[in-house]
Amino acid sequence: MKITLNKVTPYLIAIVVFMVVSIAYFSPVLEGKKIQQSDITQFKGSSKEIADFRAENNAEPYWTNATFGGMPAYAVSAYYPYDFINKLDNLIRFLPRPADYLFLYFLSFFILLLVLKVDWKLAIVGALGFGFSTYLVIILGVGHNAKAHAIAYFPLVMAGILLVFQRKYIIGFIVTALAMALELSASHIQMTYYLLFLVLIFGIVQLIDSIKKKEIPHFVKSVLVLVVGVVLAVGTNATRLLATSEYSKVSTRGKSELTINPDGSEKQATNGLSKEYITQYSYGIPETFNLFIPRFMGGGNYENVGFESNIYQFLKDKTDPRQAKQFAEFAPMYWGQQPIVEAPAYIGAIFVFLFILGIFLVKGTFKKWLVAAVIFSILLSWGKNFDILTNFFIDYVPLYNKFRAVSSIQVVAELAIPLLAILSLKEWFSTTISSEEKLQALKRSFYIAAGFALIFTLFGSSLFSFEGLRDANYDQMLPGLLDAIIEDRKAIFFSDSLRTLILVVLAAGILWLFLKQKLKSTIAVIALGTLILFDLVSVDRRYVNNDDFKVATKIDKPFVASEVDKEILKDKSYYRVANFMVDPMNDGSTSYFHKSIGGYHAAKMGIYEELFDFQIAKNNIQVLNMLNTKYFVFLDGSQRETVQLNPDANGNAWFVNTIKTVENANEEIVALDSLNTKKEAVIALNRISSDFKTEYPKDSLASIALISYKANELIYKSNTTQNQFAVFSEIYYKNGWNAYIDGELKSHYRVNYVLRGIEIPAGEHTIAFKFEPTVIEKGTSITLVSYLFLILIPVGWFFVEKRKNKL
């Protein structure tokens, strides 16, 4: 028992350390406070109707009408049947948010280092350093929780893969399958896609090594084991993945039917996002030094430069002192080429220095894999600044054109650099490498790292212009202001370059003292760990700190109804609101209280975004009417929020007499320019059969009205003397919405580019639209079978191996 306890103790210590550090960094959670995350605030608005439905019905709607006129809930918030992997994930992430994600960073990287046979004390240092990488902390600050969640499982997935290649097939299979299932459950396909690149690079390196060592059978066996594990991981997430895949085809990530732009020009053919959109966030080539020097490019878009800054000193004599203070606290320091940067993606001066040391010190395939991964990651992060490679990937590599913000592929480097850094320390403290070889490696890495830092410290102010994209505005605001801004950019460039230089010198000094037997290994590890934590945490605290936490009630209920909201909410009918106080297509606040024509999501329905660009953005009132936009919110002449009732809104459903047919989607969306939506509808010929009826008689007594509303079920009553064609102010989505007349399933059509239409026979009838996605049932069946095999395969394998050993 004592031996077992001694073996377990280091891991228990590590878990306790990770818990304490996670809570300590986000200490306001102990007071019951919650972090204010901008993206999560918007998410709460977008998902409010879903959450309310869930609470009232103890079921999932899988659809919401509160955002973008209506869209599947898969992309917003959805729980799926038998999602045991999600329950396992919740068990691991037991700490209050966002400490849970920080803890997961630590734990996952720690396990990876243990698999690589790194001493547990050094593994703790490495795990803490990985978790406090500035980018990983920043995404928690802004609310990119799904991204953080997915990245946190990267190391655990790699740990499973490494175990398999270490010939520990059963445990490797289990770890890989579970880790990959957890990775997929995080629901950030872009990050998982980037993990695939890391795995592929590892596979290529391993294949080459296996060929050299003539171990092809082991390589093939390992790959087969991993493939089965990943297939089962995919299977356990089948419902989520199938739903996402189904929706992605009609989202802005999918292929558009249109071949024209809103201005009438020819649209570039694409089966994904445009190159301009994909590469909008491209890392500048010099900006890569942000990984090594935190504010190499000024830091974030807005930095607090303090009262001693050139900006404050300049403004306090030119403007009101309060304005000077406010500007200095949010000074525009970032001078790179990306539109918005919350903070630099700083990995750490010491980690980068140790990574370089690892290039000279670490031997074998692992070094090749990690160095190749870092180079690959950085080159692709340059995007349009290295367009030869980027364009190749966009044009020829599957799925690459589905994701924006190419700079985020640096998450691969975020893992690879700390990993090689810790492996270099593992070799440094081992006895397998001679002191002479260690000293040579130390000198080379020191000359490179300290050399760059010294050059930037001494000559950096003369190497760059320090001018940014929006700088012309500042001299227009106040002549001379730009000069003060540039001087402050130079000042923080110098201070952070000097900071990096000092940290590299101190780290190299600790390693040199150990080599000269002036320090014991334990003391050296503690000293390096302290230095790494000081380096990273002090930068992290500039951007995510206690000031970001608020009273829980303000976070749980982020929006307060204005007088205008209260006035609108007096209307208990079902309608939509157009809020022009904000950017409608980037706003979740309106959806918190109302059914909005806008919303907040990166993957909107493609046809709806096109409708907005072609029609709503041009203030086409007929289109707003057909969406049943009953209220407009805007600023009046006195700059006060006001609301205007739209008496011409078409309502929930109405009859049209004429259905115009056009050749294609281009003509259909353009036809809305002049369509009288109350009397006419338009449809493309490829959506109807040859016997489709286009004319219906006027029926002055005809009526149709919504009598029951749920997010996933709308019921109407109609009464007509003759057959009529009804148009509904609901967004068309073929993969789930079914139309019933008196309980009998009927065909319905996509009309007016985005809406639903159906022929209704004469007489009194009940029309019901129900969201009944078959993908949920299909995915659930696959999920259950996958769980069964996930249990049976390792158990069966274990007994087979046990029997072999007895023979």
pLDDT, residue 476, reads: 79
Pairing of strands 755-760, 763-771: unpaired
Which H or E run includes 115?
helix 99-115
Query: Which amino acid, one-letter code, is at 678?
Result: K
Note whether 354 and 424 are within 8 A (CB). Answer: yes
Which pair of structure tokens corresponds to residue 244?
Answer: 């996402």
φ and ψ of 200, to 5 deg: -65, -40
Quickly state the pLDDT bin for 568 (edges 50, 70, 90): very high
Note whether 728 and 664 are within 8 A (CB). Answer: no
Assess whether pLDDT exceeds 60 at residue 2.
no
Note whether 226 and 405 are within 8 A (CB). Answer: no
Rounded alpha-carbon distances, angstroms, from residue 784 to 182, 231, 448, 774? 16, 13, 54, 16
User: Which residues, including other chains, have CB under 8 Å from residue 564's CB and lie 6 or more apart?
Assistant: 633, 641, 642, 643
- From 207, 222, 199, 223, select the one nearest 416 (Cα to Cα): 199
Average pLDDT, the chain: 92
Rounded alpha-carbon distances, angstroms, from residue 36 to 67, 344, 412, 547? 22, 20, 27, 9
Quickly state the pLDDT bin for 205 (edges 50, 70, 90): very high
Assess whether pLDDT exceeds 70 at residue 138.
yes
- From 123, 121, 124, 115, select the one nearest 19 (Cα to Cα): 124
pLDDT, residue 798, reads: 78
pLDDT, residue 603, reads: 83
3-state secondary structure at position 57: helix
DSSP string, 252-282: TTS--S--B-TTSPBPPP-SSS-HHHHTSS-
Note whether 754 and 608 are within 8 A (CB). Answer: yes
pLDDT, residue 5, reads: 65
3-state secondary structure at position 706: strand
- From 781, 608, 591, select the one nearest 258 (Cα to Cα): 608
User: Which position has the higher pLDDT, 294 or 602?
Assistant: 294
Quickly state the pLDDT bin for 273 (edges 50, 70, 90): confident
Note whether 569 and 623 are within 8 A (CB). Answer: no
Q: Mean pLDDT lowest for which of 255-264, 346-355, 775-784? A: 255-264
* pLDDT tens per residue, range 583-613: 889 889 999 999 999 999 888 899 999 999 9
Quickly state the pLDDT bin for 306 (edges 50, 70, 90): confident
Which pair of structure tokens corresponds to residue 673?
Answer: 């320019």
Rounded alpha-carbon distances, angstroms, from residue 271 to 243, 252, 282, 392, 614? 19, 10, 21, 15, 20
What does the alpha-carbon distance between residue 763 and residue 442 come to, in Å, rounded to a whole number? 89
pLDDT, residue 270, reads: 67
pLDDT, residue 1, reads: 42
Residue 40: exposure state from Cβ atoms within 10 A (0-12, 13-18, ≥19): buried
Name the pTM for this structure: 0.91
- From 473, 515, 350, 488, select the one nearest 417 (Cα to Cα): 350
Assess whether pLDDT exceeds 90 at residue 757.
yes
φ and ψ of 250, to 5 deg: -110, 5
pLDDT, residue 277, reads: 83
Rg over alpha carbons for the chain, rounded to the nearest Å, is: 30
Q: Mean pLDDT lowest for which of 280-294, 301-315, 489-503, 528-542? A: 301-315
* pLDDT tens per residue, range 73-105: 998 999 999 999 999 999 999 999 899 999 999
Rounded alpha-carbon distances, angstroms, from residue 704 to 618, 623, 763? 30, 20, 11
Pairing of strands 641-645, 629-635: antiparallel
Which pair of structure tokens corresponds to residue 634?
Answer: 């805007």
pLDDT, residue 142, reads: 85
φ and ψ of 684, to 5 deg: -80, 145
Assess whether pLDDT exceeds 70 at residue 51.
yes
Which pair of structure tokens corresponds to residue 407?
Answer: 């700079």
What does the alpha-carbon distance between residue 727 and residue 736 come to, in Å, rounded to a whole number? 18
DSSP string, 61-111: -SEESSSTT-EEGGGT----TT-HHHHHHHHH--SPTTHHHHHHHHHHHHH
pLDDT, residue 807, reads: 60
Residue 782: exposure state from Cβ atoms within 10 A (0-12, 13-18, ≥19): middle
- From 472, 464, 470, select the one nearest 492 (Cα to Cα): 464
- From 441, 373, 358, select the one nearest 206 (Cα to Cα): 373
Mean pLDDT of 140-160: 93
* pLDDT tens per residue, range 332-386: 999 988 988 888 999 999 999 999 999 999 998 999 999 999 999 999 999 999 9
3-state secondary structure at position 605: strand
| Apex 481 CA angle, 475 and 482, nearest 5 | 65
Query: Which amino acid, one-letter code, is at 619?
Result: N
* pLDDT tens per residue, range 407-466: 999 999 999 999 999 999 999 999 889 999 999 999 999 999 999 999 999 998 889 989
pLDDT, residue 756, reads: 96
Residue 161: exposure state from Cβ atoms within 10 A (0-12, 13-18, ≥19): buried
Quickly state the pLDDT bin for 269 (edges 50, 70, 90): low
Residue 309: exposure state from Cβ atoms within 10 A (0-12, 13-18, ≥19): buried
pLDDT, residue 253, reads: 82
φ and ψ of 590, to 5 deg: -65, -35
Mean pLDDT of 258-263: 90
Question: Which of 458-462, 480-484, 506-510 is predicted most confidently?
Answer: 506-510
Mean pLDDT of 525-540: 95
pLDDT over 90 for what percent of the chain?
Answer: 73
